[in-house]
Amino acid sequence: MRESGREVRALMREAGTRGARIVHFPEGAICFPNKLVLSVDGPDAVGPADWDRCQWPVLQSELAAIAASARELRLWTVIASVHRLTGPHRPHNSLYVISDRGEVITRYDERLLSKTKVSYMYSPGISPVTFDVDGVRFGCLIGMEIHYPELFAEYEKLDVGCVLLSTTGVSPGAASAQAQGHAAVNSYWVSFSVPAQHSATAPSGVIAPNGDWIERCPADGTPSVAVVNLDDSSEAAVESVTHARPWRRESRAGVYAEHR
């Protein structure tokens, strides 16, 4: 966790140097506890997680150092972490939203978990989360929620301009293709953040409202930063944002009835 925290802060500094206002990290950015390592029946079988094995003080110290860096760099930071609850409740699999003042302003908890996560490891969240930075409204999703189009549609109804999706165990290519589809059918930006180990087939990057990749990290397995200007007047966004998204809203509101 300490090494991961150092790497996160190094990438934050790079993002800040390149003029970013907000930086978005993948699921497992600090740690991604293995179901067999935590299992009371492990390491050969999956069972209920023993969260006493987690080094909570180390995790908290790394999160505190990340928040301090966000304040120092004046950089909004969205970082995945395990969020501890009081016993006997299992923790959440979460995204912390840290402001450029170094304050956690909100937290998103994964709602639609994998079978293993909900059976043995985590408590599910209950609601979407949005926050605004420089006139852009962001929404958060994590983990296997890439597979649920209704969650992306929910954020469209909440007038989100960009969804921040953090995931880890992606099937090669499939998750990134789904992310493009979600961006295109909802006409908003999608930040797709995954660990660098998946970069050969699904590197991290940002998708425009028309479904095109605008910038992607290298496909060479190295941790890196992709920087994008979320400009709704750009060629990759203006048609989708100005015409496609409003028309879909109008068509869903019953505009066809009088023409039948």
Whole-number pLDDT of residue 173:
62
Per-residue pLDDT of the chain (260 residues; tens, 9 = 90+): 999 999 999 999 999 999 999 999 999 999 999 999 999 998 899 999 999 999 999 999 999 999 999 999 999 999 999 999 998 999 999 999 999 999 999 999 999 999 999 999 999 999 999 999 999 999 999 999 999 999 999 999 999 999 999 999 776 568 899 999 999 999 999 999 999 988 888 999 999 999 999 999 999 999 999 999 999 999 999 999 999 999 999 999 989 989 99
- The pLDDT assigned to 239 comes to 97
Q: What is the 3-state secondary structure (H, E, C) of the chain?
A: CHHHHHHHHHHHHHHHHCCCCEEECCCCCCCCCCHHHHECCCCCCCCCECHHHCCHHHHHHHHHHHHHHHHHHCCEEEEEEEECCCCCCCCEEEEEEECCCCCEEEEEECCCCCHHHHHHHCCCCCCCCEEEECCEEEEEEEHHHHHCHHHHHHHHHCCCCEEEEECCCCCCCHHHHHHHHHHHHHCCEEEEECCHHHCCCCCCEEECCCCCEEEECCCCCCCCCCCCCCCCCCCCCHHHHHHHHHHHHHHHCCCCHHHC
Per-residue pLDDT at 205:
96
* Residue found by looking up tokens 């930075």 in the block: 133
What pLDDT does 87 receive? 85
Give CA–CA dist 99/37, Å, rounded. 33
User: Contact 143/119 with Cβ under 8 angstroms?
Assistant: no
Per-residue pLDDT at 198: 87
Closest by CA to 189, choosing from 162, 212, 221, 151, is 162
Q: Burial letters for 9-48: b for 16+ Cβ neighbours within 10 Å, e otherwise? A: bebbbebbeeebebbbbbbbbbbbbebeebbeebeeebee
Supply the pLDDT for residue 172. Answer: 54
Q: Is 19 left (phi over 0), alpha (psi -120 to 50) or beta?
A: left
User: pTM of the entire structure?
Assistant: 0.95
